[in-house]
């Protein structure tokens, strides 16, 4: 047998060489030919820093979501692999904007999601809006989200959508709880000079107006600069006015300082209902016996009568799954973090063209699903790009050895059952 070895000719060498050089350019745009095209979802969350409590269940939720996404999601008869890229905002709005830009420009994500307080949600949504990437956010009252980003009612935003409750719901839930208590209607207000505090204390859109309308006298000494080392002036003003209720929106270290100083300076309110600081069992535990009887809004609990559209798990199953996996008590953001990916999955299934950001955005706008935190449907929003989930009020009470957040007022959302009665401090 005779084999002939052909010497490479100049022409042949050039042709092969050019083809080899050009190949990557053609291959790069060949996503459609791959076995499973990939949809990238960017996720920004405050894993570390003062807001870390909001994200403590991230690993558990993302792992469960990753399992349900493992088989891929169907869109227009084609199966897509979903890749979730999660980044830490370190509880810092500048850092949140930085990692969001990184996800959008570096990782080239198709959808970006974020959760937990205006400090995370707003910078991420702003980056998404500027770069025209579809964005879904949650876990931040809608007023700081909408007005904090200079949203214009009636116009809204192009690419960014949000689901959570609003200040009007928190006020209604708080009033519902206080009305049944029969205490003096003098309320002390503690509002920091940050996005949440300014929204809660805002004379027009915040607590002052509805509280006055309901016959409550709100003592608001003014915005303080967080973190603060001293609350003695606020305490003196509340004592002077005979406040029996204290409300506001604080970070846990400031509440710890305030609550210790209140005891030192002989100020003993009967109801203390604070947003943000009193959401987490770990904070309540660090306060020791002084944590019992404090109250807070309840966005989600194991007793909420909703279940996941992805896994079919009930609220209780999701919460207990987390406790079993981590050995830690359930927290409210778990439900919302799960719901965030329920919405993402729903949008990916329905979008007319996953290659087109505008098609994804219109799929988000047309969302109508029942999630583990309640119905999400942007057609029913109070304002553009926003839809609301139900909210009730609860109180931390001793249940055996541990503290449990009992739902004590539910007239704002009667389908969520109460699990206890309000006890005065």
Q: Which residues bind other proteins (CB under 8 A)?
A: 48-50, 52-53, 90-91, 193, 221-225, 227-230, 232-234, 236-237, 240, 252-253, 256-257, 260-261, 263-266, 286, 288, 290
* Cβ proximity to other proteins, 15 vs 236, nearer residue: 236
Of 157, 107, 112, the closest CA to residue 137 belongs to: 112
CA–CA gap between residue 306 and residue 335 (Å, rounded) = 10
For residue 210, what are the CA distances in angstroms to 204, 207, 243, 249? 9, 6, 18, 16
Neighbours of 367 (CB within 10 A): 21
User: What is the smallest separation between the CB atom of 87 and other proteins, expressed in angstroms?
Assistant: 15
Of 246, 269, 251, the closest CA to residue 174 belongs to: 246
* Cβ proximity to other proteins, 52 vs 82, nearer residue: 52
Query: Tokens 């799954």 correspond to what residue?
Result: 321
CA–CA gap between residue 168 and residue 381 (Å, rounded) = 13
User: What is the smallest separation between the CB atom of 257 and other proteins, expressed in angstroms?
Assistant: 5
Q: Could you tell me how far CA 48 lies from the centroid of its own chain?
A: 15
* Cβ proximity to other proteins, 237 vs 358, nearer residue: 237
User: What is the smallest separation between the CB atom of 286 and other proteins, expressed in angstroms?
Assistant: 6
User: What is the smallest separation between the CB atom of 318 and other proteins, expressed in angstroms?
Assistant: 23
User: What is the smallest separation between the CB atom of 188 and other proteins, expressed in angstroms?
Assistant: 12
* Cβ proximity to other proteins, 254 vs 346, nearer residue: 254
CA–CA gap between residue 362 and residue 351 (Å, rounded) = 8
* Cβ proximity to other proteins, 79 vs 326, nearer residue: 326
* Cβ proximity to other proteins, 91 vs 273, nearer residue: 91
Q: Are strands 392-399 and 402-409 parallel, antiparallel or unpaired?
A: antiparallel
User: What is the smallest separation between the CB atom of 129 and other proteins, expressed in angstroms?
Assistant: 28
Residues 6+ apart with CB under 8 A from 37: 31, 78, 80, 81, 354
User: What is the smallest separation between the CB atom of 222 and other proteins, expressed in angstroms?
Assistant: 4
Which residues are bridge partners to 377 per DSSP?
368
Q: Is 259 helix (H, G, I), strand (E, B) or coil?
A: helix
* Cβ proximity to other proteins, 46 vs 390, nearer residue: 46
Of 281, 271, 302, the closest CA to residue 402 belongs to: 281
* Cβ proximity to other proteins, 230 vs 399, nearer residue: 230
Let me know if 244 is exposed, middle or buried by CB neighbors in 10 A (0-12, 13-18, 19+): buried
* Cβ proximity to other proteins, 257 vs 377, nearer residue: 257
User: What is the smallest separation between the CB atom of 88 and other proteins, expressed in angstroms?
Assistant: 9
* Cβ proximity to other proteins, 24 vs 288, nearer residue: 288
User: What Rg value do the Cα atoms of the chain yield, rounded?
Assistant: 25
Torsion of CA 275, 48, 101, 367, to 10 degrees: -50
User: What is the smallest separation between the CB atom of 298 and other proteins, expressed in angstroms?
Assistant: 23
**Do the beta carbons of residue 87 and residue 43 sit within 8 Å?**
yes
Neighbours of 358 (CB within 10 A): 14
User: What is the smallest separation between the CB atom of 284 and other proteins, expressed in angstroms?
Assistant: 13
In b/e form, how buried is each residue of 313-336, taking b as 16+ CB within 10 angstroms?
Answer: bbbeebbebbeeeeeebbbbbbbb
């Amino acid at each position: 047998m005779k084999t002939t070895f052909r010497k490479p000719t100049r022409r042949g060498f050039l042709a092969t060489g050019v083809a080899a050089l050009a190949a990557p350019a053609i291959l790069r745009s060949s996503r459609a030919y791959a076995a499973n095209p990939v949809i990238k979802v960017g996720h920004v969350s405050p894993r570390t820093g003062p807001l870390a409590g909001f994200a403590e269940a991230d690993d558990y939720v993302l792992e469960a979501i990753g399992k349900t996404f493992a088989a891929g999601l169907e869109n227009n008869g084609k199966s897509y692999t979903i890749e979730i890229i999660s980044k830490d905002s370190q509880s810092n709005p500048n850092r949140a904007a930085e990692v969001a830009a990184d996800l959008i420009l570096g990782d080239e994500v198709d959808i970006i999601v974020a959760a937990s307080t205006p400090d995370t949600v707003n910078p991420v949504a702003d980056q998404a809006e500027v770069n025209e990437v579809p964005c879904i956010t949650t876990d931040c009252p809608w007023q700081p989200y909408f007005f904090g980003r200079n949203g214009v009612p009636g116009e809204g935003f192009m690419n960014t959508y949000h689901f959570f409750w609003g200040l009007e719901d928190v006020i209604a839930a708080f009033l519902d709880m206080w009305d049944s208590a029969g205490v003096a209607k003098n309320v002390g207000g503690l509002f920091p000079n940050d996005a949440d505090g300014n929204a809660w204390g805002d004379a027009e859109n915040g607590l002052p107006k509805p509280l006055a309308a309901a016959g409550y006298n709100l003592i608001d000494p003014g915005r303080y600069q967080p973190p603060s080392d001293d609350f003695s002036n606020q305490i003196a003003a509340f004592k002077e006015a005979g406040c029996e209720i204290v409300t506001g929106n604080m970070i846990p270290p400031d509440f710890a300082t305030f609550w210790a100083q209140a005891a030192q300076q002989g100020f003993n309110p009967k109801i203390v209902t604070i947003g943000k600081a009193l959401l987490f069992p770990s904070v309540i535990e660090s306060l020791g016996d002084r944590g019992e009887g404090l109250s807070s809004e309840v966005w989600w609990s194991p007793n909420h009568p909703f279940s996941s559209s992805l896994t079919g798990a009930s609220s209780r199953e999701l919460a207990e799954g987390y406790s079993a996996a981590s050995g830690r008590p359930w927290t409210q953001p778990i439900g919302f973090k799960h719901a965030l990916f329920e919405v993402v999955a729903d949008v990916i299934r329905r979008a007319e063209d996953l290659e087109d950001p505008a098609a994804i955005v219109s799929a988000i706008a047309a969302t109508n699903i029942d999630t583990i935190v309640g119905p999400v449907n942007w057609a029913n929003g109070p304002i553009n790009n926003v839809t609301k989930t139900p909210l009730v009020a609860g109180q931390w009470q001793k249940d055996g050895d541990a503290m449990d957040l009992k739902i004590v007022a539910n007239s704002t959302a009667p389908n969520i059952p109460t699990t206890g009665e309000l006890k005065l401090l």
